[in-house]
Structure 1
Amino acid sequence: MTWLGTAAHARWLETESRALLDFARAAAVPQGFGYLDAEGRLDPSRPVELWVTCRMTHCFSLGSLLGVPGTAPLADHGVRALSGALRDAEHGGWFSAVGPDGPVNDAKEAYAHAFVVLATSSATAAGRPGARELLTEALRVSEERFWREDEGAVLESWDRGFTTAEEYRGVNANMHTVEAYLAAADVTGEDVWLDRAVRILRRVLDGYARDHDWRIPEHFTRTWEPVPDYNADDPAHPFRPFGVTVGHGLEWARLALHAREGLVARGRETEGWLLEAAQGLFDRATGDGWAADGADGFVYTVDFTGQPVVHERMHWVVCEAIGAAAALEAVTGEERYAQWYQRAWDYAATHLIERPGAWRHELDEHNAPSARTWPGKPDTYHALQATLVPRLPLAPAFAPALAAGLLDVRHPLR
């Protein structure tokens, strides 16, 4: 017997959801949400980063929709931060990082701006004051500054004044833009965001991933030519690692299924390649990444032959394995995905969860604590979503699904 869909497991997931939200409360600072260290205390050496603030705002918006006391004021705190210290009132958009005296990184990054869209979408669904106006602004900035209609994707970053764009193109920023656009489509009712999410998915999955045997190239030139040796001298980079990022294969698989179900919910063609890609990506990621060096857990990266490059185990990769397995089981009904789901949670409980809500973010190849790439515990987002994917349908997105009362409504087989 596997756990998916059982009331007892749903109760465990709910307990862990609440514990994660409780742990994250310590991140609140005047400018937004700060970076938590390994003990769950604020790290004073780190600025307030846009992506962290947005993820926390998203999480606390979900918490408010879950009925967790104390989370709605924290969601409101995040919305105020996105209206205040992190927002560039002169040039538009949002600073990448700020300190007590203003911006410390004034670049305008597609990755972080995608999380502005996600955070404000979730806060809007949760009915938080000022969120809808911010969502409108965030979508305008995304459309005018980052979306490239001729490319069917977003560019990577700009300088503060939106005068010079980075030549690099990357799929990480595009992956999170897919997530954000899917949420925006459900919250606003504007299908243009779903259509753009599907265009990104088609480019990356039905193109690059398929062409590389479901190993996704991460790094590209301005004209979308792959750069396979990018960061070969810095293979463990937290945002642009060398080679193939195993966890992204799992994350893209889940997002493909969210998009697929979004199309179904609107009575549109499901585009069969979305399920094919999700299954291909999941099989490739689990085949390449799990216990690749003899110990349980997913290695961080592999090369284009599937050989491990960075052996550290990241908590977020296990979370995405949980989400992808739950989504694939919901869509296909295949037992093997339920077994992967249970295997991933067993690993998390054995190696990652120190106590409820406190997850080790990184382990070494022996599953001992490590901090090579991700010191501290700055991110509740992946783990919280891992506790919710099994309890929600694949569409609408997390926040509007909770707002619609769809918690613990199992996704029907398609």
Structure 2
Amino acid sequence: MNANPALETETLAEHWSDRPYHRHWLLQRADDLFDFFEADIINPKGGFFELNLDGTVPGKTNPVRGIHVTCRMIHCFAIAHLLGRPGAMAIVEHGMDFLWNRHRDTEHGGYFWQVDDNGPVDASKQGYGHAFVLLAASSARAVGHPLADAMLADITDVINTRFWDEAHGAIAEEFERDWSAKDGGNYRGQNCNMHLTEALMAAFEATGDQAYLSKAERIADLLIRRKSAELNWRVPEHFDTGWTVDQAYDGDQMFRPSGSTPGHWLEWARLVLQLWTLGGKTHDWMPEAAKGLFFQAMALGWDRDNGGFVYTIGWDNIVSRPFKLWWPMAEGAGAAHFLNQHQPSDFHEDSYRRIWGTISRHFLDRKNGGWHQQLSQTMQPEAELFPTRDDIYHALQACLIPLFPADGSVLEMIRTNGDRP
């Protein structure tokens, strides 16, 4: 694998995101995603189905519903409603009812990680899941859902009183149902804090409450300005309770793999620029951080031989998991667009085109619809980590972000620039 990102490129005076054909193509891909999921995702007993790879409903009579899937569907179909997609609000309403009445723990507070028809299957309280509750509540408020204010107040209180660590400016990872320590309580992770940063910005956009934005800035300061900068813009994933990096940690391959994940470098590159714009462009370190994160992801994470971003890299910069997932591609497209808007360069534009070209050739499932969620090192479809297709969150935002100004979340940009596409 050639790690040099300085690819030969023409002089790219015009951004693809400004071209009418490309914009139409992106909107079509967003419609394809809505079409793939919309018909069969609603479980009549509550929540949403995780679909088979061909888009059909699995045969399970009592499937487990994860909170992040519930919340992401609410968020995505709130976006669809703002775009003017008929029927989208009914999906938001279905998700909000399930989130409020089935995921919420009315005895101890907070929200269950997994539930089925009979109640909690995994009653733990996960920072990752609670971040997405905040995102869902904020998105629901943007479309005027009647439960949104109550849920926003509830989840804000839970985050502030249970998860937030004021001394370090970030949240704890997880608790048991009764808020006792889970697995000793000694682990801290960047992934839940990254998604909380996104959700805090959404809550700020929905309410104007500066406290949300301040928390987002503190998380970014800890994880990016300090921790990632110390590692030459590689994002560390795993920490102890004092926020010292644990480079030897190896946990769940989906949520806590060892090493570092270039997809998260890309995600942070976009989020940092979004945070910079929402904060009035007062933090001078943020644009350079975004540029460095994206450059390193292309330099170390892009497979020059086969295409796509590898899943994980060891701290020796050697690829440790060479298969490719769809979400780093989606985050790479969004990050490249944000960088093109705020720090335009041929490298960012070429990367944007290269990423979308690879998505089009390899990740779009032209037989069944939707996107392939996992490909092998040589870009063949696999389903090791993702035997089902559970949501459209990453892919949908990638399709829509380039259609709107890079000044905030895609939902807020649609709300304030609804006629732009």
The interval holding the TM-score normalised by the smaller chain is over 0.9
CA–CA separation in structure 1 for the residues paired with 2:297 and 2:27: 28
Task: Note if contact 2:82-2:418 (Cα within 8 Å) is conserved in structure 1.
Answer: no
Of residues 22, 33, 54, the one that matches 2:48 is 33
CA–CA separation in structure 1 for the residues paired with 2:57 and 2:171: 33
Pairing 1:268-283 to 2, within 5 Å after superposition: 269-283=281-295
CA–CA separation in structure 2 for the residues paired with 1:407 and 1:213: 40
Any idea what SS the aligned residue of 1:103 has? strand
Alignment partner, residue 370 of structure 2: 358
Any idea what SS the aligned residue of 1:27 has? coil
Shift of 1:132: 2.1
TM-score by length of 2: 0.92
The letter for the 2-side match of 1:201 is A
Alignment partner, residue 263 of structure 1: 279
CA–CA separation in structure 1 for the residues paired with 2:417 and 2:88: 18
Alignment partner, residue 380 of structure 2: 368
Of residues 95, 117, 126, the one that matches 2:143 is 126
Task: Note if contact 1:31-1:86 (Cα within 8 Å) is conserved in structure 2.
Answer: no
CA–CA separation in structure 1 for the residues paired with 2:420 and 2:274: 17
Pairing 1:5-404 to 2, within 5 Å after superposition: 5-25=18-38, 26-29=40-43, 30-43=45-58, 44=60, 46-164=63-181, 166-231=185-250, 237-264=253-280, 269-291=281-303, 294-355=305-366, 357-404=369-416
User: Structure 2 stretches of 5 or more lacking a match?
Assistant: 1-13
Task: Note if contact 1:298-1:313 (Cα within 8 Å) is conserved in structure 2.
Answer: yes
Shift of 1:357: 4.9
> In the comparison of the two structures, how many residue pairs are matched?
401
User: Structure 1 stretches of 5 or more lacking a match?
Assistant: 410-414
Of residues 10, 17, 22, the one that matches 1:4 is 17
- Going from structure 1 to structure 2, the CA distance change for 1:59 and 1:143 (only over 3 Å counts) comes to same
CA–CA separation in structure 1 for the residues paired with 2:317 and 2:419: 38
Any idea what SS the aligned residue of 1:288 has? helix
Any idea what SS the aligned residue of 1:28 has? coil
Alignment partner, residue 412 of structure 1: none
TM-score by length of 1: 0.93
- Going from structure 1 to structure 2, the CA distance change for 1:327 and 1:50 (only over 3 Å counts) comes to same
CA–CA separation in structure 1 for the residues paired with 2:272 and 2:419: 21
CA–CA separation in structure 1 for the residues paired with 2:237 and 2:130: 19
Q: C-alpha root-mean-square deviation of aligned residues, in Å? A: 1.6
Task: Note if contact 1:34-1:49 (Cα within 8 Å) is conserved in structure 2.
Answer: no
Alignment partner, residue 4 of structure 2: none
Q: Deviations over 1:191-210 (max 9, x none)?
A: 11111101100101111111
Shift of 1:395: 3.1
Task: Note if contact 1:4-1:338 (Cα within 8 Å) is conserved in structure 2.
Answer: no
Shift of 1:365: 0.6
Q: Deviations over 1:120-163 (max 9, x none)?
A: 11111011231222112111111111111111001001111113
CA–CA separation in structure 2 for the residues paired with 1:396 and 1:198: 14
CA–CA separation in structure 1 for the residues paired with 2:338 and 2:165: 30
Shift of 1:170: 0.2
The letter for the 1-side match of 2:235 is I
- Going from structure 1 to structure 2, the CA distance change for 1:395 and 1:340 (only over 3 Å counts) comes to same
CA–CA separation in structure 2 for the residues paired with 1:322 and 1:141: 33
Any idea what SS the aligned residue of 1:348 has? helix
Task: Note if contact 1:17-1:357 (Cα within 8 Å) is conserved in structure 2.
Answer: no
Q: Deviations over 1:210-247 (max 9, x none)?
A: 1111111100111111111111xx6x700001101010
Identity %: 36
Any idea what SS the aligned residue of 2:279 has? helix
